[in-house]
Amino acid sequence: MFPSINPRIGYTVTILALAAGAFVLPSWAVFLLNLSLSRGLVVLGLLVIWRAGLMSFGQALYYCLGGYTVGLVGRYLGWSDAFLLVALGTLASVAVAVPLGFIISRYREIFFAMLSMAFSMILYGVLVKSEFLGSTDGFNVVPPTFLGWAPEGDRLVQAGFLLTLAVSVIAGIGVRAYLHSTSGHLATALRDNEVRVEYLGISAQAVIHAKYTLSAALAGVGGALSALFIGHIDPEMAYWTTSGEFVFITILGGPGSIAAPFVGATLFQTVRTYAFQYSPYTWQMVLGAMLLLLILFLPDGIWSLVQRKKGRS
Amino acid sequence: MALLEAKGLHKRFGSVVAANGFDVAVNDHEVVGIIGANGAGKTTFVNMVTGYVTPDAGRILYAGRDITDLSPRKVTRIGISRSFQIPQVFLTLSALDNLLIAIGIARGELLRPWRPLRRPELLAEAQARLDRYRIGEYSQQKAVLLPQGVRKLLDIAMAVVNQPRLLLLDEPTSGVSVEEKFGIMDTVMAALKEQQVTVLFVEHDMEIIQRYGQRVLAFYDGGIIADGPPERVLADEQVQKLVTGEVLHKAHPSHGGGAHA
């Protein structure tokens, strides 16, 4: 929206404003932002594979794995350090994505999307049948601590948000560097012509496998952070509608920038919150109408508004 | 030792025999033209050498190493590249980005995902390579908008980024206007000679075969019916009857017949 401003300065100002917001905004707003960024991280992962022409309708698998890892480690080992739990949640997602990636990287288009959804629904099924994990009710996650510091109430909300913000900034910078690397540029190349990629001496499957694993790691981070700061997990995290929301946000934000997933997630979360509040029985219709309008009028997502403005100046 | 050696190559597609068990050897620094009617097995031979098609029987040796069962990317990695009859480029990317990606891969940048691809030294190399193939002025154009001749050159320029020892060109001038053909071949052959690449090229245009081939292989019905210098192969009676058609050889008007159709 500010075409004359150097994007680096724009990002820095936004990040600082968000960090300051943690101390100024009401608790519910900070919580909402935290949730938005956590989901933005998942969508950032989807962006990575979307650029290669692939879309996962089962990203909730890794979102849920990240969340349940946090919950289970807290419950059975009693560990509560947020940094450690988030790291473990990410690792768990990667540990599952690497073997599954060998299968899924052989597929493209709708087959890729459906297979990824199938895997997430298997996890959902297992969790629903696991009564010792609370079945469909799930269970509460231990309150997080930060290197020994155990905040409560508003302080916890603030600390949680700052952690998520920090993780988002690091992930954003990392993914941005990745997208500009040879491997990142290869996304478009893969979408255009896999034959040529193979004849350049590279396994298209291996590149997709790597991208898939990266996207799973980001979904794991997002799931771990959500679980920690919502304080509760249930199998719904792995359900296909959760994946659908991530896809929704990906389209909402657009493929244009690493900021788009976070902007899209915040907008989505806000619209959903208000839609739910004002029309509790038809809020899904509001979201549906929003998606329809978006596809019709802003097929490249809301971030394309920013780019359009840039292009004009 | 020959750079490329095929021994007893057999390949059938249903009832079509694409390779009937022929032997052939290509030496270092040779420029070999491959001729033959459609369905004679030329492209199948290229596909077998580059790992796209596996022969039913027979072996392919490259610098003494058996490469019969290697995949296209492994074949590429050991120094055999190819271009395509229909250029295989990244259509939504600019010509420069097409080459940048090839350069990034050749330099092993895939394992350094934190280093940007658009670095000055890589950009300069990409532009220099485009210039060498005389398509530097198109660097910023999307490949999908490029004229066919330019796209063909781009395809070849990408194929040689990893410094292959052997390059297979599948119909480098097909789909290109008559006026452009020689310009393209001059550019390609000069650049390849500079890089000291051994070249196998499939071609339908006998003028091009005569001008650029040091040696010609004539394919017919999955076999090689003549192998030698262009003058001799193109003068071969069997080749004239089965492959080139007499009309192309105006030096022998007596053979004119009904081949004008």
Interface confidence (ipTM) of the complex: 0.84
B71 touches chain A (CB under 8 A): yes
Comparison of pLDDT for B26 and A304, the residue scoring more? B26
Residue A69 has pLDDT above 90, yes or no: yes
Q: Do B117 and A181 touch (CB under 8 A)?
A: yes
Question: Taking CB atoms and an 8 Å cutoff, what residues of chain B touch A209?
Answer: none
State the best of A200, A203, A213 to mutate against chain B, taking most chain B CBs within 10 Å. Answer: A200
Instruction: Kindly state whether residue B216 falls inside one of the protein's structural domains.
Output: yes
Q: What is the pLDDT of residue A311?
A: 60
Any idea where the domains of chain A sit in the sequence? 24-239
Q: What is the pLDDT of residue A5?
A: 67
A310 touches chain B (CB under 8 A): no
Q: What is the CATH number of the domain that holds B41?
A: 3.40.50.300
Q: Do B110 and A180 touch (CB under 8 A)?
A: no
pTM of the shown model: 0.88
Determine which of A16-20, A154-158, B244-248 has the lowest per-residue pLDDT on average.
B244-248
Q: Count up the domains in chain B and report the number.
A: 1
Residue B31 to residue B39: CA distance in whole angstroms? 23
Q: Do A192 and B90 touch (CB under 8 A)?
A: yes
Residue A300 has pLDDT above 80, yes or no: yes
Q: What is the pLDDT of residue A239?
A: 93
Residue A34 has pLDDT above 90, yes or no: yes
What is the band of A2 on the pLDDT scale with cuts at 50, 70, 90? very low
CA-to-CA separations, B25 to A68, B3, B43, in angstroms, rounded: 62, 8, 17
Determine which of A93-102, A117-126, B151-160, B227-236 has the lowest per-residue pLDDT on average.
B227-236
What is the band of A255 on the pLDDT scale with cuts at 50, 70, 90? confident
- Edge-to-edge order in the sheet of strand B65-66: B16-26, B4-13, B57-62, B65-66
Reduce the secondary structure of A282-300 to three states and give it as a string. Answer: CHHHHHHHHHHHHHHHCCC
Using alpha carbons, select from B4, B12, B5, B6 the residue that is nearest to residue B222. Answer: B12
Residue A181 has pLDDT above 90, yes or no: yes
Asked whether the beta carbons of A43 and A242 are under 8 A apart, the reply is: no
A179 touches chain B (CB under 8 A): no
Instruction: Kindly state whether residue B186 falls inside one of the protein's structural domains.
Output: yes
State the best of B50, B70, B80, B93 to mutate against chain A, taking most chain A CBs within 10 Å. Answer: B93
Low-confidence ranges of chain B (pLDDT < 50): 248-261
Instruction: Kindly state whether residue B112 falls inside one of the protein's structural domains.
Output: no
Instruction: Kindly state whether residue B37 falls inside one of the protein's structural domains.
Output: yes
Is the sign of the CA dihedral A220, A225, A228, A234 positive or negative?
Answer: negative
Render pLDDT for A36-65 as a digit per residue (tens, 0 to 9): 999 999 999 999 999 999 999 999 999 999
Q: Do A202 and B115 touch (CB under 8 A)?
A: no
Q: Tokens 């849920």: give the residue.
A: A64
Give me the domain span that covers residue B220: 4-89+164-255
